[in-house]
Amino acid sequence: MRLDEAMGTYDALLLLSFGGPEKPADVLPFLENVVRGRGVPKARLMEVEAHYQRFGGVSPINQQCRDLIEAIRPKVDLPIYWGNRNWHPFLTDTVRQMADDGVRRAAAFATSAYASYSACRQYLDDIDRAREAVDGAPEIVKLRHYYDHPGFIAAMADHTAQALGRLPAEVRDGARLVFTAHSIPLTMARTAGPSGGAYEAQLLSAARLVNAALGRTEPFDLVWQSRSGPPEVRWLEPDVCDHLEVLYKQGAQAVVLVPIGFVSDHMEVVYDLDVEARDLAAGLGLPLERASTAGTHPAFTSMVADLLAEPEPAGCAATCCPAPPRRPAPA
Ligand X SMILES: CC1=C(CCC(=O)O)c2cc3nc(cc4[nH]c(cc5[nH]c(cc1n2)c(C)c5CCC(=O)O)c(CCC(=O)O)c4C)C(CCC(=O)O)=C3C
Instruction: Point out the annotated binding site.
Output: 59, 123, 182, 268
Nearer to ligand X, 193 or 287 (CB): 193
Residue 128: C-alpha distances to residues 58, 131, 140, 141, 255 (Å)? 29, 5, 9, 11, 42
Closest CA to 198 of 254, 118, 266, 128: 118
Nearer to ligand X, 30 or 81 (CB): 30
Nearer to ligand X, 35 or 257 (CB): 35
Q: What is 5-70 written as a DSSP string? A: HHHTT-SEEEEEE----BSGGGHHHHHHHHHTTB---HHHHHHHHHHHHHTTTB-SHHHHHHHHHH
Nearer to ligand X, 225 or 302 (CB): 225
| Binding-site entries for Fe-coproporphyrin III | 59, 123
240 binding ligand X? (CB under 6 A) = no
Amino acid occupying residue 156: M
Stretch touching ligand X by CB under 6 A, among 1-9, 99-107, 109-117, 248-256: 109-117
State the nearest-atom distance from the C-beta of 206 to ligand X, in Å: 13
321 binding ligand X? (CB under 6 A) = no
118 binding ligand X? (CB under 6 A) = yes
53 Rama class: left (phi>0) / alpha (psi -120 to 50) / beta = alpha
For the beta sheet containing 254-258, the strands, ordered from the edge strand earlier in sequence to the opposite edge, are 221-225, 175-182, 254-258, 288-290
Nearer to ligand X, 214 or 329 (CB): 329
Nearer to ligand X, 187 or 253 (CB): 187
State the nearest-atom distance from the C-beta of 314 to ligand X, in Å: 21
Applying CB under 6 A, what is the total number of residues that bind ligand X? 26
265 to 294: interface string for ligand X, x by CB under 6 A? -xxx--------------------------
The span from the CA of 63 to the CA of 66, in Å, is: 5
Helix, strand, coil fractions of the chain, as percent rounded to 5? 45, 15, 40
Beta strands in 213-274 (DSSP E): 221-225, 254-258
Q: Say which DSSP state 73 is in.
A: G
83 binding ligand X? (CB under 6 A) = no
Closest CA to 154 of 298, 308, 310: 298
Tell me the chain's radius of gyration from C-alpha atoms: 20
Nearer to ligand X, 131 or 182 (CB): 182
State the nearest-atom distance from the C-beta of 207 to ligand X, in Å: 15
State the nearest-atom distance from the C-beta of 48 to ligand X, in Å: 4
Name the residue with the smallest CB distance to ligand X: 228
Compute how many other C-beta atoms are within 10 angstroms of the C-beta atom of residue 79. 14
Site residues (CB under 6 A) for ligand X, limited to 156-195: 182, 184
Site residues (CB under 6 A) for ligand X, limited to 56-75: 59-61
84 binding ligand X? (CB under 6 A) = no
Nearer to ligand X, 20 or 151 (CB): 20
Under DSSP, is residue 145 helix (H, G, I), strand (E, B) or coil?
coil
188 to 227: interface string for ligand X, x by CB under 6 A? --------------------------------------x-
Q: What is 84-138 written as a DSSP string? A: ESSSSSBHHHHHHHHHHTT--EEEEEES--S-SIIIIIHHHHHHHHHHHHSTTPP
| Binding-site entries for Fe(2+) | 182, 268
Binding site for ligand X (CB under 6 A): 18, 20, 31, 34-35, 38, 40, 44-45, 48, 59-61, 111-112, 116, 118-119, 182, 184, 226, 228-229, 266-268
